[in-house]
């Protein structure tokens, strides 16, 4: 079995020797220019004009503005869901850092100076800077199942709470960037190579803007990518278009790579959200009805907001059983940079709310947070908020059991309480606590998404009995290359070494759909499996008695046998259709499940939190490569912890960012990170390769609520607070926890 | 100017006030050393300068003259060094962009401490940000490499 084995990652050797070529490692091309972006300093305003400083020497500088797009016949549009975002602003600017002009010069320093010599004439208009002020609705959804109002009216206990979450920056360590060139000729060809997750998104955006009809007229190639986490899902289309425009106008290759500051300022972030939750239950803790009201901040343009909001909506009732559900959600526009894809994609926001709310209910009922979760956790056969019957691969209970067992929860909680008492008695100011969260994450695209996507992969036989996997699914660190090779080798009954992975390049791979939504292994992997098996069995069927696989394969290749290649399109499993109007039906093919247990230490003077240990169990169906899989779980969980206690974007009153540097946008270091105790639970999903389902996003969902729950446990002997939870809002920065603690009653 | 990198003396055309990072990545073609922030915060440009880990984005090329520079390209002699092998085997590298700097920081640690414990390892790489792994597997890989370097079982 190759599936289930932790084979070392294929790209490991290149990465540990420094040979892996990231975008900025591409050797300079002859005549290459350095591109920079001129951005709006104003959150909202009328763009009256653009002036080039007459004192500056523009002779060797290429400048592109929206007017040039008109002159070049380029459609000023970044193609995505809604057609509302221009490539370069014209007439009006809608957020600070909005691109208004582009500049390129062979001399990098001069390009930077040229940027400063472009003057934007903008008359400011009133700006909306937070979702509380937002009135323009970008998208809304409604789920209404059974009779929530009647059920809440009849419930023995009804608890309400409001929970807020903040922006989060992806902070991949490799900033965004591309190198582009434009080849004139009878049929012009634009070529973009860069750090990106979804080559075909960029491809589509290029085709649309430049009115390219032929698929081959745009070529998009992924370079080794230094992290993405969603941040390189949609934004590379913008950078790709910018670099391509400069390349077209100058006739030279253009390198456009963001510095860290520009990357933090201009690119997308996690959507902030406010959720109001009302939950009705019996006095014995049995949940009956839930009502959730969600508002997200979409930012200045729609980009991926409808899809993020959709996922947030579908995860808003958490991993629990209710007979009555209502979720009403909307995203509003603000004059801040568009928020976009970030691991979890709307789910961490609503899961934060529902998990915190379950803790509030536990408190109100005097129940342990574990028992209340165990009592209400979705089981096989239960219905979700969309009326989906959970008939397959439902591992929530297993995860709860595995994580609490690994943590030895009850004993550890008692030990920590005893430790706290001893600390208090000795006059010391550290307190420890244990917290929990349980959660699930829909794997793959929502509803009818996969039907529309029609993701494809191709597997080719090559000389020597080898197979090559051609797919647009990118490896951005998660190990796609390695895992696809494992899946293909297993399906073809070949050695791991006999399979290779084509670099995602639109001129060489079919459109497998984007590398998002925890769909790569489960969805694309399943067609890799089919295609590899088809090619291999064809070769074996045609082999003469005694002829080896390699010899037979070479013979078929020489004869031009068409079935030595196999293109497979994904066909979603038969399921109850999802109705986009009512938001009822099978929202996802299946769900992945998890439970986090966090042990924290809080300083009663500084209110700083450290997460000491993190016990987590993730039901991934099947871990194709356990080392890589656990790496996803731990990395994602640490991002969630960072979001909870370290990370915060500081917005100035003018809509700009005050801490766009790694010095002051703080992500966890090795010293901040907890010791991880990771358990992989495998409740197989029959349609995934080897039983696998999605894992990419799930780990981002539960870290923050588990930590909050643990902080409250740590403080519970010293503080008493009223109804609800002490910490309803993120981030849990020391000053925020202090503020909440200050309002509580000190009991020790 | 002359720079000794990975045991080889190089004659390079560069201004002594250029950042060492740019000289390594540019004229010397050693792109293994990465730039994540350009201001000494991420550690992805970590190199050894006379055995001490420094951020190459904060060092001027002139300051490195006469010193011995070690970059990620100098770690493997023919085959992967144990540290590199352990990173590959144990899941210490995901996207890999922090890996060169991380390896160099770990190399510096293992040179001065042959059997570091978890806390010492975490301290030694605290200046190297990794956004992918959660660090656990990096810590494990370094610990594992220490055992292999000491002649223990791999
Ligand atoms: S690039 Fe030198 S520390 Fe970040
Ligand atoms: S492996 Fe991606 S930043 Fe460390």
What's the domain count of chain A?
3
Min Cα–Cα distance to chain B from A657, Å: 17
Identify which of B34, B72, B98, B105 to mutate to test ligand 2's pocket (most ligand atoms within 8 A of the CB).
Answer: B98
| Cross-chain residue pair A634–B133, CB shorter than 8 Å | yes
Q: Out of A543, A569, A595, pick the residue that ends a domain.
A: A569
DSSP secondary structure letter of residue A506: T
- Interchain CB contact of B117 with A (< 8 Å): no
Residue nearest to atom 3 of ligand 2 (CA): B130
pLDDT (0 to 100) of residue B119: 98
A260 & A277 share domain: no
Given the CA of residue A477, which atom of ligand 2 is nearest to it? Answer: 2
Helix axes B136-149, B99-112, angle to 10 degrees: 40
Q: Is the minimum distance from the CB of B98 to ligand 2 under 6 angstroms?
A: yes
Min Cα–Cα distance to chain B from A264, Å: 11
In this prediction, does ipTM exceed 0.85? yes
Residue with tokens 């051609």: A470
A249 & A297 share domain: no
Q: Which residues of chain B are within 8 Å of residue A667 when distances are taken between CB atoms?
A: 129, 131
Closest listed residue to residue A305, CA positions, set A32, A84, A462: A84
| Cross-chain residue pair B126–A669, CB shorter than 8 Å | yes
With a cut of 50, list the residues of chain A below it in pLDDT: none
Closest listed residue to residue B110, CA positions, set B53, B69, B68, B55: B53
Q: Give the closest of A14, A226, A667 to B97, CB-based.
A: A226
Q: Give the closest of B39, B84, B97 to A173, CB-based.
A: B97
In whole angstroms, what separates CA A614 from the centre of its chain? 21
Q: Give the closest of A12, A661, A671 to B122, CB-based.
A: A671
Q: Is the minimum distance from the CB of B1 to ligand 2 under 6 angstroms?
A: no
Distance CA A338, CA A332 (A): 11
Residue to substitute from A8, A18, A661, interface B, most B β-carbons within 10 A: A18
| Cross-chain residue pair A227–B37, CB shorter than 8 Å | no
Residue to substitute from A16, A258, A699, interface B, most B β-carbons within 10 A: A16
Distance CA B3, CA B12 (A): 7
3-state secondary structure A636-664: HHHHHHHHHHCCCCCECCCCCECCCCCCC
A622 & A533 share domain: no
Question: Which ligand sits closest to the CA of B38?
Answer: 1
Specify if A15 maps to a domain. Answer: no
- Rg over CA atoms, chain B: 15
A258 & A344 share domain: no
Specify if A711 maps to a domain. Answer: yes
Residues 17-76 of B with CB under 8 A from A: 25, 30-39, 41-42, 44, 71-73, 75-76
For A54-70, letters b (16+ CB in 10 Å) and e give eeeeeeebbbbbbebbe
Distance CA A263, CA A266 (A): 6
Q: Give the closest of A15, A636, A661 to B39, CB-based.
A: A661
Tell me which chain A residue has its CA closest to the CA of residue B37.
Answer: A260
Q: Which CATH number is A213's domain given?
A: 3.90.1170.50
Per-residue pLDDT of chain B (154 residues; tens, 9 = 90+): 999 999 999 999 999 999 999 999 999 999 999 999 999 999 999 999 999 999 999 999 999 999 999 999 999 988 999 999 999 999 999 999 999 999 999 999 999 999 999 999 999 999 999 999 999 999 999 999 999 999 876 5
| Cross-chain residue pair A226–B30, CB shorter than 8 Å | no
Specify if A677 maps to a domain. Answer: yes
- Interchain CB contact of B6 with A (< 8 Å): no
Min Cα–Cα distance to chain A from B90, Å: 7
| Cross-chain residue pair A171–B131, CB shorter than 8 Å | yes
Tell me which chain A residue has its CA closest to the CA of residue B83.
Answer: A16
Distance CA B5, CA A747 (A): 62
Residue to substitute from A7, A10, A11, A17, interface B, most B β-carbons within 10 A: A17
Min Cα–Cα distance to chain B from A632, Å: 7
Q: Give the closest of A12, A18, A227 to B88, CB-based.
A: A12
Q: Which residues of chain A are within 8 Å of residue B128 when distances are taken between CB atoms?
A: 670
Min Cα–Cα distance to chain B from A247, Å: 22
DSSP string, A338-401: PP---TTTTHHHHHHHHHHHHHHHHHHHT--HHHHHHHHB--TT-B-TT--B--S---HHHHHH
A310 & A434 share domain: yes
Specify if A146 maps to a domain. Answer: no
Distance CA B78, CA A451 (A): 49
Identify which of A170, A173, A634 to mutate to test ligand 2's pocket (most ligand atoms within 8 A of the CB).
Answer: A173
Tell me which chain B residue has its CA closest to the CA of residue A678.
Answer: B136
Q: Out of A239, A266, A293, pick the residue that ends a domain.
A: A266
Q: Is the minimum distance from the CB of B40 to ligand 1 under 6 angstroms?
A: yes
Q: Which residues of chain A are within 8 Å of residue B37 when distances are taken between CB atoms?
A: 260, 661-662
Most distant CA atoms of chain A, gap in Å: 85
pLDDT (0 to 100) of residue A446: 85
Closest listed residue to residue A242, CA positions, set A25, A58, A39: A39
Given the CA of residue B95, which atom of ligand 2 is nearest to it? Answer: 2
What are the phi and psi torsion angles at A298 (to 5°)? -80, -20
A508 & A530 share domain: yes
Q: Is the minimum distance from the CB of B134 to ligand 2 under 6 angstroms?
A: no
Q: Which CATH number is A504's domain given?
A: 3.30.365.10
Residue nearest to atom 3 of ligand 1 (CA): B40
Specify if A621 maps to a domain. Answer: yes
A505 & A436 share domain: no
At a CB cut-off of 8 Å and minimum separation 6, what does A186 contact?
Answer: none
Q: Is the minimum distance from the CB of B141 to ligand 2 under 6 angstroms?
A: no
Which residue range is the domain that position A222 belongs to?
Answer: 29-127+171-266
Min Cα–Cα distance to chain B from A661, Å: 8
| Cross-chain residue pair B76–A17, CB shorter than 8 Å | yes
| Burial (Cβ within 10 Å: 0-12, 13-18, ≥19) of residue A575 | middle
Question: Which ligand sits closest to the CA of B43?
Answer: 1
Question: Which ligand sits closest to the CA of B36?
Answer: 1
End-to-end CA distance of chain A: 58
Q: Out of A266, A298, A313, pick the residue that ends a domain.
A: A266
Total Cβ atoms within 10 A of residue B96: 29
A262 & A278 share domain: no
Min Cα–Cα distance to chain B from A451, Å: 30
Ligand 1 center–CA A24 separation, angstroms = 14
- Rg over CA atoms, chain A: 27
Written as six digits, the tokens of A174 are 């490799």
Specify if A313 maps to a domain. Answer: yes
Tell me which chain A residue has its CA closest to the CA of residue B44.
Answer: A173
Q: Is the minimum distance from the CB of B64 to ligand 2 under 6 angstroms?
A: no
pLDDT (0 to 100) of residue A518: 82
Distance CA B39, CA A257 (A): 16
At a CB cut-off of 8 Å and minimum separation 6, what does A304 contact?
Answer: A80, A81, A233, A234, A340, A341
Given the CA of residue B127, which atom of ligand 1 is nearest to it? Answer: 3
Distance CA A372, CA A281 (A): 11
Specify if A5 maps to a domain. Answer: no
A552 & A661 share domain: no
Q: Which residues of chain B are within 8 Å of residue A6 when distances are taken between CB atoms?
A: 91
pLDDT (0 to 100) of residue B154: 54
A86 & A178 share domain: yes
Specify if A180 maps to a domain. Answer: yes
A377 & A321 share domain: yes
Ligand 1 center–CA B27 separation, angstroms = 19
Given the CA of residue B40, which atom of ligand 1 is nearest to it? Answer: 3
A344 & A418 share domain: yes
């Amino acid at each position: 079995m190759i599936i289930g084995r932790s084979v070392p990652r294929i790209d490991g050797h290149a990465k540990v020797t420094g040979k892996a070529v990231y975008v900025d490692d591409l050797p300079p091309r002859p005549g290459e220019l350095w591109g920079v972006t001129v951005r709006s300093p104003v959150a909202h305003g009328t763009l009256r004009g653009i002036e080039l400083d007459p004192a500056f020497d523009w002779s060797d500088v290429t400048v592109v503005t929206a007017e040039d797009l008109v002159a070049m016949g380029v459609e000023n549009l970044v193609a995505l869901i809604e057609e509302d975002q221009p490539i370069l602003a014209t007439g009006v600017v809608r957020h600070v850092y909005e691109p208004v002009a582009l500049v390129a010069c062979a001399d990098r320093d001069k390009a930077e100076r040229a940027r400063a010599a472009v003057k934007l004439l903008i008359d400011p208009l009133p700006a909306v800077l937070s979702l509380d002020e937002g009135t323009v609705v970008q998208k809304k959804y409604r789920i209404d199942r059974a009779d929530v109002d009647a059920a809440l009216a009849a419930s023995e206990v009804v608890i309400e709470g409001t929970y807020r979450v903040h922006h989060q920056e992806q902070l991949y360590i490799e900033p965004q960037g591309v190198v582009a060139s434009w080849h004139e000729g009878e049929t012009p060809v634009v070529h973009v190579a860069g750090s990106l997750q979804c080559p075909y998104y960029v491809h589509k955006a290029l085709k649309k803007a430049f009115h390219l009809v032929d698929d081959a007229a745009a070529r998009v190639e992924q370079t080794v990518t230094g992290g993405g986490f969603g941040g390189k899902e949609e934004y590379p289309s913008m950078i790709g278009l910018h670099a391509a425009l400069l390349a077209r106008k100058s006739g030279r290759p253009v390198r456009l790579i963001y510095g860290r500051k520009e990357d933090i300022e201009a690119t997308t972030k996690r959507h902030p959200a406010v959720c109001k939750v009302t939950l009705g239950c019996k006095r014995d803790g049995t949940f009956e009805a839930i009502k959730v009201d969600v508002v997200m901040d979409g930012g200045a343009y729609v980009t991926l907001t409808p899809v993020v909001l959709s996922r947030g909506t579908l995860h808003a009732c958490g991993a629990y059983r209710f007979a009555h559900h209502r979720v009403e959600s909307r995203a509003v526009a603000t004059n801040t940079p568009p928020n976009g894809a970030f691991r979890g994609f709307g789910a961490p926001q609503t899961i934060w709310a529902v998990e915190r709310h379950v803790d509030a209910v536990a408190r109100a009922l005097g129940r342990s947070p574990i028992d209340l979760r165990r009592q209400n956790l979705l089981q096989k056969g239960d219905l979700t908020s969309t009326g989906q019957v959970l008939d397959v691969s439902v591992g929530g209970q297993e995860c709860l059991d595995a994580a609490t067992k690994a943590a030895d929860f009850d004993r550890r909680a008692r030990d920590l309480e005893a430790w706290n008492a001893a600390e208090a008695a000795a006059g010391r100011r550290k307190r420890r606590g244990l917290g929990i969260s349980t959660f699930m994450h829909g794997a793959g695209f929502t509803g009818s998404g996969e039907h529309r996507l029609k993701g494809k992969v191709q597997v080719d036989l090559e000389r020597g009995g080898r197979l090559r996997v051609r797919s647009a699914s990118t490896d951005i660190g998660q190990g796609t290359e390695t895992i696809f090779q494992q899946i293909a080798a297993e399906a073809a009954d070949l050695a791991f070494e006999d399979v290779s992975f084509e670099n995602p390049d639109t001129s060489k791979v079919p459109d497998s759909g984007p590398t998002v939504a925890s769909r790569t292994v489960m969805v694309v992997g399943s067609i890799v499996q089919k295609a590899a098996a088809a090619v291999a069995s064809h070769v074996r069927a045609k082999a003469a008695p005694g002829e080896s696989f390699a010899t037979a394969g070479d013979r078929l290749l020489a004869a031009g046998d068409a079935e030595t290649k196999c293109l497979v399109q994904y066909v979603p499993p038969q399921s109850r259709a999802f109705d986009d109007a009512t938001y009822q039906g099978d929202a996802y093919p299946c769900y992945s499940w998890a439970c986090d247990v966090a042990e924290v230490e809080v300083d009663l003077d500084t209110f700083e939190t450290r997460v000491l240990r993190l016990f987590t169990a993730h039901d991934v169906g099947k871990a194709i490569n356990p080392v890589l899989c656990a790496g996803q779980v731990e990395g994602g969980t640490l991002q969630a912890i960072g979001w909870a206690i370290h990370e915060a974007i500081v917005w100035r009153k003018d809509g700009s960012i005050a801490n766009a540097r790694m010095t002051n946008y703080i992500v966890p270091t090795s010293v901040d990170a907890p010791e991880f105790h990771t358990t992989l639970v495998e409740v197989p999903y029959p349609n995934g390769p080897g039983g696998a389902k999605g894992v990419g996003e799930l780990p981002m969902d539960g870290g923050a609520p588990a930590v909050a729950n643990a902080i409250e446990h740590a403080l519970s002997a010293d503080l008493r607070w009223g109804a609800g939870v002490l910490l309803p809002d993120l981030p849990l920065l020391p000053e925020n926890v202090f503020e909440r603690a200050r309002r509580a009653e000190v009991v020790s | 100017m002359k720079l000794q990198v990975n045991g080889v003396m190089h004659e390079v055309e560069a201004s002594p006030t250029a950042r060492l990072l740019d000289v390594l990545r540019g004229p010397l073609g050693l792109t293994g050393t990465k730039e994540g922030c350009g201001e000494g915060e991420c550690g992805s440009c970590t190199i050894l300068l006379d055995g001490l880990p420094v951020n190459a984005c904060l060092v001027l090329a002139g300051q490195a003259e006469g010193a011995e520079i070690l970059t990620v390209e100098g770690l493997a002699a023919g085959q992967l060094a144990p540290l590199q092998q352990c990173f590959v085997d144990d899941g210490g590298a995901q996207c890999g962009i922090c890996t060169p700097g991380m390896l160099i920081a770990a190399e510096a640690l293992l040179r001065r401490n042959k059997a570091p414990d978890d806390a010492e390892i975490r301290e030694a790489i605290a200046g190297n940000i990794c956004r992918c792994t959660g660090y656990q597997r990096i810590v494990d890989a370094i610990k594992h490499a220490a055992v292999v370097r000491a002649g223990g079982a791999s």
